[in-house]
Chains A and B, each alone.
Chain A
Amino acid sequence: MSRNPSSSQTKNTVYIAVFAAMIAAMGLLPPITLGIIPVPITLQTLGVMLAGALLGPWRGAMSSLVVVVLAIAGLPLLSGGRGGLGVLLGPTGGYLLGWVFGSLVIGALFKYWVLRRTGNTARFLAGLASVVIGGIGVIYLCGVPWTSVVTGLDLGTSLLGSAAFLPGDLFKAVVTTLVALTVHRSYRGLMS
């Protein structure tokens, strides 16, 4: 039984579009409130992390890029119904770029490292590390300097400002890892 190569390209395009839509949808609904964390967490970055963890580096990054492009072009896709050029040029603009690189890094780590590990604990730890590196490290690395450049605040202050979101993001990283590993178990060939 064979599949022709052009149909894999079609499949990739569809996966990218559907996941981009999922990331957008996750930003459109009210945030989830957990007892422990004071700030209600939006699931949108969760979607960004998942895109990388489930679709791999290239498709995951493309999904995030599609959302960013559509949002900047004017669709109110970012949490809070935001959109337009102002978001890119404003203090949080760097984070948008961070989404693309974040998905890329998470995807690469999952594809070439996490999924090659055996044993549930090893996989979970590798997965969590990957999501933290890509979903928090890389994203903040893109977002924080941009905030400094745009506002004039020094890096330390900008970093401190983003620290408020750290607990929520760490929580999301755990959720992403658990969800991604669960799904990969039922969908063996998702990233080969």
Chain B
Amino acid sequence: MELPSIRLENVSVRYDDRVALRELSISLNEQRIGVIGANGAGKSTLSRLLNGLVLPTDGTVHIGDLNTRQHSKQIRREVGFVFQNPANQIIMPIVSDDIAFGLKNLSMPKSERHQRVAQTLNELNISHLADRESHTLSGGEQQMVALASVLAMRPQTIIFDEPTTMLDLRNRLAFQREIAKLSQRAIVVTHDLEILEDFERVLVITDGTVAFDGAPAEAIAHYRQWSHA
């Protein structure tokens, strides 16, 4: 399947008091892309540009032919997003209802929904969580459910904003493995440098610009050096 190219053209993001990203022009086509950088450098803003949660002050963001300013609804169907806080992504009291939520919005018939939910749970090996109450899940389980809710919509790309920051080591490793298995394109903003080992491309964001753009090992080395300075 041909992945749509993600293109940022002269993108700047300014808030009232500061510049989050300045004049960014890049094209993202790889299957596994990592984004690292210090807190506040602009990584989160960048990730949110890619599904239209944040619109650029200047410039445009395209996912294939879709423009985030005009086609936000379609884009959000094709680009999923997994957030840092596992708990605040689950909105229904029972897990299976949460995963079915997006499908219900698409007016998918009940039987098809059931099937899709069961299938998705199966793919992530969390079928046993289907009837659990959301608040009884551990952080790791919640993050898996969040991923399942995103996957159920069959997006082409999934953006992750620090998905493992709030998880313990065991769950971090488990989540890493799940990301590695994904057939979708994954763009991962993270502090967890181990996730990025087998990635194709890693961007280092510093002060709202791309300070480095290349292979993971070099990017990480660059980032380490920069962090020690």
Contact = CB atoms under 8 A, between A and B. Distances in A.
Interface of A: 1-2, 4
A1 B55 CA distance: 6
> What secondary structure prevails in chain B residues at the interface with A?
loop
9 contacts: A1-B13, A1-B14, A1-B15, A1-B54, A1-B55, A1-B56, A1-B57, A2-B55, A4-B72
Given A1-B56, A2-B55, A4-B72, 6 more contacts: A1-B13, A1-B14, A1-B15, A1-B54, A1-B55, A1-B57
Contacts of A2: 55
Please list the 8 inter-chain residue pairs (A to B) with the smallest Cβ-Cβ separation, ordered nearest first: A2-B55, A1-B55, A1-B57, A4-B72, A1-B54, A1-B13, A1-B15, A1-B14
A1 B56 CA distance: 6
A126 to B, nearest CB: 28
Interface in B1-53: 13-15
B47 to A, nearest CB: 16
Contacts of B14: 1
Interface in B49-78: 54-57, 72
Contacts of A1: 13-15, 54-57
Nearest to B13: A1
Interface of A is mostly: loop
A4 B68 CA distance: 12
Nearest to A2: B55
A2 B72 CA distance: 12
A189 to B, nearest CB: 11
B149 to A, nearest CB: 16
B87 to A, nearest CB: 12
Nearest to B54: A1
A1 B13 CA distance: 8
Contacts of B55: 1-2
Nearest to A18: B88
A4 B71 CA distance: 12
Contacts of B13: 1
A94 to B, nearest CB: 30
A18 to B, nearest CB: 10
B44 to A, nearest CB: 14
Contacts of A4: 72
A4 B56 CA distance: 14
Nearest to A17: B91
Contacts of B56: 1
A4 B54 CA distance: 11
Nearest to B15: A1
B188 to A, nearest CB: 24
Nearest to A4: B72
B106 to A, nearest CB: 16
Contacts of B57: 1
A35 B179 CA distance: 55
B71 to A, nearest CB: 12
A104 B13 CA distance: 38
B74 to A, nearest CB: 13
Interface string B151-164: 00000000000000
Nearest to B16: A1
Nearest to A3: B55
Nearest to B57: A1
A101 to B, nearest CB: 29
A2 B56 CA distance: 9
A2 B57 CA distance: 9
A12 to B, nearest CB: 14
Contacts of B72: 4
A75 B48 CA distance: 38
Most buried by A among B13, B14, B55: B55
A191 to B, nearest CB: 19
